[in-house]
Copies of this chain bind each other. A is one copy, B any other.
Amino acid sequence: MIAEIITIGDELLIGQVIDTNSAWIGENMNLIGIKVHQITSISDDREHILKTLEEAETRADIILITGGLGPTKDDITKTTLCEYFDTNLVFNQDAYKNIEAIFLQRGYTVTELNRRQAEVPANCTPIMNLNGTAPGMWFERNNKIFVSMPGVPFEMKTMMSEQILPKFTAKLNLGFIIHKTILTQGVGESFLAKTIEDWEDSLPKSIKLAYLPQPGMVRLRLTAIGNNKAEILNLIEEQDQKLRQLIPDYIFGYDNETMESVVGNLLKKHKMTVSTAESCTGGRIAHLITSVPGSSEYFIGSVVAYSNRIKEAELGVKAESLEKYGAVSEAVVREMAEGIRRKFGTDFSISTSGIAGPDGGSDEKPVGTTWITVATPEKTITQKFLFGEHRGRNIHKAALAALNMLRMELL
């Protein structure tokens, strides 16, 4: 089963918009076992669209089309599809109701231009657009399937996920597909791969594993395909449990969770508070924590102590510690965490001190050297890290590592 993608829109060819749709479609088609053979991007030009459809039809079984469904006259995909399938537009009541509902919600009345968006080619099965006014269209001819979707990414993605992909799996008898993304922190991709090698090798054939590395974390995506939904859900659950036993310290969350939301939820659950004393992370940890809605419930505040003077005056770091060990040292980072915890009266505190770079490194303390402390009601835990050479990534990695240390204490 071979698919092709055709993306239509002048904005793609002049570089105003990066085509992120195709990669998403390619990934998701691939996950249900359908290979994408070619992606073709063309402008809103009648002849070019017709020719591209014709060529794609000779090569592929499924042709997925995005874009060119807007209400303005430069959007000609719908009329060109009519021409391609030798049919005409008909008014669709359900599509119109959807348009009306969306306009009502936004407080507008439907214009003639938008009313026309409810028209679809007579030979297609319309697909509801839950997030916008342009319906999708499903065509079948000579054992080939054509699907036309809006180009707006979140409209297309919802339509694909909720309607088109299930329709493919049902129609082509591909079975159900379940994903679970496991988020890990504190371990590099190659070391992680080595650690879970046996588990990976023993995965059932119906489960696929993908490594998705990001700065400061590695995501593991499990995908299972099968005909019995409960069974494959079970299968994934089983493998996740095995993995949790194998690397309990690295897994911090699932799917769309973030380190800061996971930590926030734990603090809320325990009705505990936190403060931060940041040197090398320069406010990044406080920023991550406060990017979560409702974080004022558990986050009290922070002292960003970039200069040693502030470390002494505001956090009670001893002058002799600074002199004897330097600002990037176990002694100083401990005093920072204990200082802020006492001063701000929080249950937990986090502190960081390191050399983010690009300057300031030495043989003894190269760029990337970072000390992190978490102080709890019972104890003070300190860890030394050696990140890389890139300032931005060092700051981000230190912030994630610090939050992860706090998470471990909260468990």
Residues of A within 8 A of B (CB): 12-20, 22-28, 30, 35-43, 48, 52, 55, 276, 278, 281-287, 289-291, 293-296, 299-307, 309-310, 314, 344, 356-359, 391-392, 395
Contacts and interface: CB of A to CB of B under 8 A. Distances in A.
A35 B48 CA distance: 15
Given A38-B52, A290-B356, 7 more contacts: A13-B37, A38-B48, A55-B55, A278-B286, A291-B392, A293-B391, A302-B304
10 contacts: A15-B27, A19-B22, A19-B39, A38-B41, A278-B286, A282-B291, A283-B302, A293-B359, A301-B304, A301-B307
Nearest to A24: B15
Given A282-B290, A283-B283, A28 B15 contact: yes
Contact of A283 (B39, B287, B300, B391): B287
A95 to B, nearest CB: 28
- Most chain B CB atoms below 10 A, which of A286, A305, A357: A286
B310 A300 contact: yes
Contacts of A285: 283
A395 B285 CA distance: 15
A27 B39 contact: no
Contacts of A295: 282, 306
A16 B12 contact: no
A16 B28 CA distance: 11
Contacts of A41: 22, 38-40
B22 A16 contact: no
A18 B18 contact: yes
A300 B291 contact: no
A293 B358 contact: yes
A307 to B, nearest CB: 5
A352 to B, nearest CB: 11
A299 B358 CA distance: 17
Contacts of A23: 12, 15-19
A144 to B, nearest CB: 19
A278 to B, nearest CB: 8
Nearest to A309: B300
A295 B30 CA distance: 46
A314 B291 contact: no
B282 A287 contact: yes
Contacts of A314: 301, 303, 314
A302 B279 CA distance: 10
A209 to B, nearest CB: 14
A344 B37 contact: no
A80 to B, nearest CB: 16
A30 B43 contact: no
A305 B26 CA distance: 46
Contacts of A306: 290, 295-296, 299-302
A314 B301 CA distance: 10
A310 B305 contact: no
A23 B357 CA distance: 32
